[in-house]
Structure 1
């Protein structure tokens, strides 16, 4: 097989993975009664732990107002809560509630477990290659998100 054939095969596989991820997000949003923006906020809170509203806005690529609206919606669903930071009582953090953590685990836990099992089948060298590809793909997506927002694309 030619290199071009392999490049096309990988590109198709990435597109199919993106479509499958999109479907999971749609189904998860329906199950949780939230929209895609709210899901992105849940994802950031799951990955990073409690964040201030401004930190969550930056992590999710939202304006401050959009993040506040999303947090309000997520609070109404009982998935997140605002709490005072124990280290700095002036700061308010947004964190997943116990039901929020359970919902995230119920939906994405089995997916993560299966992905981990698949990754364990690869050698360390193969995993390094996969990680390199994914980091470069992520950087590509970020550059083009900036482009689509009308910002100057990063070099």
Structure 2
């Protein structure tokens, strides 16, 4: 049993997040030639197509700068297209292509299986605590960003 008083949550979250995304990126790269951050963009566009870069970055939890590089790769792979905004030419409107939709369709099951695997060792009450904890971490992060 661990000593919860000395448990360093911030450090553990960093370690586990890094390890999880390294493994997921490696698997997704082998399957589809993209990383999880690319997949997040495609998932956002699958739900609502034709969003601006800023909207996608916000919904995917990415910086606008990072989104630009990721979008370059997705465009090179013909998974998205970028056009100038009709109301503001400085804005880019990004749309998912048919191939991008196919990638989302192929990887949806992979994500569901990963989520199920991550939660498989926990009962319903533990899952509720994990969900509450992660939502609180997210809220705290937003609060830190706002200051």
> Into which bin does the TM-score normalised by the smaller protein fall?
0.5 to 0.7
- Equivalenced residue count is 138
1:77 Cα offset (Å):
0.5
Instruction: Name the residue aligned to 1:97.
Output: 97
User: Aligned partners of 1:132 and 1:109: how far apart in 2?
Assistant: 24
Instruction: Name the residue aligned to 2:136.
Output: 136
SS in 1 for 2:64: coil
1:112 Cα offset (Å):
1.6
Instruction: Name the residue aligned to 2:48.
Output: 49
* Cα 1:5–1:57 shift into 2, 3 Å: closer
After TM superposition, the score normalised by the length of structure 1 is 0.57
Structure 2 residues not aligned, in runs of 5+? none
Structure 1 residues not aligned, in runs of 5+? 147-152
* Cα 1:29–1:140 shift into 2, 3 Å: farther
Contact 1:119 1:127 (8 Å CA) reproduced: yes
User: Aligned partners of 1:97 and 1:4: how far apart in 2?
Assistant: 48
Deviations 1:94-145 (A, max 9, x none): 233232233234345224235247648632x4332111111123345556xx
Does residue 40 in structure 1 map to residue 42 in structure 2? no
User: Aligned partners of 1:15 and 1:26: how far apart in 2?
Assistant: 17
* Cα 1:97–1:122 shift into 2, 3 Å: farther
User: Aligned partners of 1:118 and 1:56: how far apart in 2?
Assistant: 26
After TM superposition, the score normalised by the length of structure 2 is 0.59
